[in-house]
Structure 1
Amino acid sequence: MSVTLHQNWDYVDHGPALASRTALSKPEIWHLHSAPVKDSFYRRHCKRAVDLVLAVVLLAVLLLPMAVVALCLLIAQGRPLIYSGERMRAPGRPFRQYKFRTMVCDDDDGGATGAHKHWRITPLGRFLRRTRLDELPQLFNIIAGDMSFVGPRPPLPEYVERFPALYASVLQIKPGVTGLATLIYHRHEDRILANCSTAAETDRAYYARCLPTKLRIELVYRRVASPWLDFWIMWRTFLAVIPGLDRPRKRRGARAIRQPVPATAPERSR
């Protein structure tokens, strides 16, 4: 099975119609994926066991590197060392997600991270984010049963409160440290949010442009999840943090200089 998901985000219209859209329309996604999905044997019986065994093994191997990261954070940034944010495992089921702290503390500054938050990211935090070392404490979330290695990224409560029926479907699979949407879409999301200079712009862009696409991909994963796909996602995520291997491959036949195309004519998938 081969699935290609591509969008030419560089040439999407930035006009008033987009700026005025502040929320995701549920019907545009829901009607495509509303049918119930029966859990496979892997999801019902094997996925949790694989997560638990792999998390315990990795924790034993990575405990010393995590201690080194914690010491560097203590010297460079001071306390707290761990960021603990409320996320949702399912509608009505919150949990605390753990990461190494990479930003200057500001309890009133929540939501998606756009350009208006870049000043808060510390130099060491930027390195941890780039290498995804800040995610290592989530091994404890996996052992506790709140997360999996692969699945939809755990959403903020405000997103689930706004779209409870949709997230009830997406979160039939346990949230993951990485996932299909993270692997496919994170570069596009970073580019979109990097152009947002205020919290309001970030909120509009995330709800109107990022969230619809990410949820579509998460719903695709919900239908096709398998051990082979999970292994591929974890392997590609590992490669993505290695310098020199983190750039997407150029598609054959692509022109050196690309001309803008109309927003109504998305680039053809290959």
Structure 2
Amino acid sequence: MKERIRYERRHSRWYEALLLGWPFQLIVGALLIVGLPAWDRWGWGFWEYLPPYRSNTLIACVLAFIGILWTLRRMHRFPGARVSAFIAPTIAVAYLLVVAILFFTREEYTRQVLFVSFLMSLGWFYLAFFLGRRYRRMKLGVVPVGRVGELEPTPDIELRSLTHPDLGGVRYDGVVADLHAEELSPEWERFLARCTLHHIPVYHVRQIQESMSGRVRIEHLTENEYGSLLPSLSYQGVKRFIDLVAALLLLPLLAPIMLATAIAIRLDSPGPALFIQRRMGFRAVPFRVYKFRSMYMDQKGLGFTAGDDDPRITRVGRFIRKYRLDELPQLFNVIKGEMSFIGPRPESMELSDWYERDVPFFSYRHVVRPGISGWAQVEQGYAAEVDGMTTKLQYDFYYIKHFSLWLDILIAFKTLKTIVTGYGSR
């Protein structure tokens, strides 16, 4: 009788699954981040007597911790998400939210416990990240046929080419194959079936390619992760509500900066402070986008910005473009429902017509609201529109395919980094 071949998935042993799984992180982390600060302030047996200020504080700490853990785990799925860079911002936002809720609802709470819990969260999540970094890097076996040669390893994914239909005693997180390749022999197909029977995931090369690059190939139009070409309608509604509330809250705070920017533009060069242009919008409906003018009025050039050395850019324009201040008037576009904070950048009517001729399904890009910032901008940077057309569309389609709150949060953090540092601006 032929000996039965057994494969074992990486991190599948009970103690590995226990230590690396989210239940362990949730339970142990909650005991440290919520329990220790409470014990330090109120002593042992603090749970036996819970007046409102104690219960409110404990609930706030628990909610902040769960929100942080869930957000970081979800963001880690996306390419380019260097989780270590987003730990501190995520923790800060979570605790600010719970404090804001307690403040506006006028509920009693203990600031000392919340602050110590905040510090404990920083220590816990950074420690968990650096201790688990080597275990989080995926190890994938690659079946050497078809388009798998286009794959390249990244800091988050290790690729090992398989020389024959066997794992060779190595434990992998999964196996990658071009399932549409004509060269995929019956031996390799039986091998992939055995991997599946032993609970080792088999990925099509396209799945891994998208997860590594953050781009979707645009030779053919494919469905998104919800199983249809229509992004989540429920999230679109939630996102519109968040956009409107955020824009109304930010407008009075940013009004002084907008006024100072407008004055600087008028003093720097003749012409209006605002630049208004017709662009293609949500559901292919044209609209007028508002921006602060960053170019001279009396100079002509190409239909797109060539870069920082474009002679049409003014001195003030170069500064406001670097720190994205020229986009601030688009808050009014967001309030009007023409734009979102996050989404594919709206193109001019001329460029949209040109793209439509080259990419038959380009109009699918308008299935979500255009954004002030987008996945293509934080990953590709603000390169010249024409030069990076294909790559930019691949990023835009990836965003639409993975349209979700978690991807929007990741883009928001990356955009804030660009605003603060000026790195990646056009």
Normalised by the length of structure 2, the TM-score is: 0.45
Of the three residues 62, 65, 77, the one matched with 2:254 is 62
Residue of 39, 49, 57 corresponding to 2:231:
39
Task: Show the counterpart of 1:246.
Answer: 423
For residues 55 and 107 of structure 1, the distance between their equivalents in structure 2, rounded to whole angstroms, comes to 34
Unaligned runs of 5+ in 2: 1-75, 81-150, 153-216
SS in structure 2 of the partner of residue 128 of structure 1: helix
Shift of 1:107: 8.1
Amino acid at match of 1:234: A
Structure number, greater radius of gyration? 2
> Separation in 2 of the partners of 1:145 and 1:79?
28
Distance 2:259 2:252 in 1: 12
Preserved CA contact (<8 Å) 2:271 2:297: no
1:92 Cα offset (Å): 4.9
Give runs of aligned pairs for residues 118-129 of structure 1, distance below 5 A: 118-129=310-321
Deviations 1:233-267 (A, max 9, x none): 11210111223x837xxxxxxxxxxxxxxxxxxxx
Q: Supply the distance in 2 between the matched residues of 1:150 and 1:223 (Cα, whole angstroms).
A: 14
Corresponding residue for 2:370?
175
Whether the 8 Å CA contact 2:301–2:312 is kept in 1: the answer is: no
Q: Which residue of 1 aligns with 2:379?
A: 184
1:232 equivalenced with 2:407 (yes/no)? no
Matched ranges for 1:155-174 at <5 A: 155-164=347-356, 165-174=360-369
1:80–1:163 distance in 2 versus 1, CA, 3 Å:
same
CA distance, structure 2, for counterparts of residue 246 and residue 116 of structure 1? 13
8 Å CA contact 1:42–1:226 kept in 2: the answer is no
Aligned residues of 2:265 and 2:273 also touching (Cα < 8 A): yes
Aligned equivalents of 2:300 and 2:265: distance in 1? 22
Structure 1 vs Structure 2 CA RMSD: 2.7
SS at match of 1:221: helix
Residue number in structure 2 paired with 1:81: 273
Corresponding position of 1:131? 323
In structure 1, what residue type is equivalent to 2:406?
Answer: W
Q: Partner letter of residue 367 of structure 2? A: Q
- Percent identity over the alignment? 33
Counterpart in 2 of 1:4? 79
Over 3 Å counting, the alpha-carbon distance change for 1:123 and 1:107 in structure 2 is: closer
- Contact 1:88/1:156 (<8 A) preserved: yes
Three-state SS of the structure 2 residue aligned to 1:118 is coil
Change (3 A) 1:107 1:171: farther
Q: 1:102 is matched with which residue?
A: 294
> Is the CA contact (8 Å cut-off) linking 1:91 and 1:167 kept in structure 2?
no
| Partner residue, 1:143 | 335
Partners of 2:345 and 2:373 within 8 A in 1: yes
Matched residues in 1 for 2:335 and 2:231: separation?
22
How many angstroms apart in 2 are the aligned matches of 1:31 and 1:123? 43
Kept after mapping to 1: 8 A contact 2:291/2:327: yes
Q: TM-score, normalised by structure 1?
A: 0.69
Unmatched runs of 5 consecutive residues or more in structure 1 = 8-27, 194-205, 248-270
Higher relative contact order (CA 8 A, sep 6+): 1
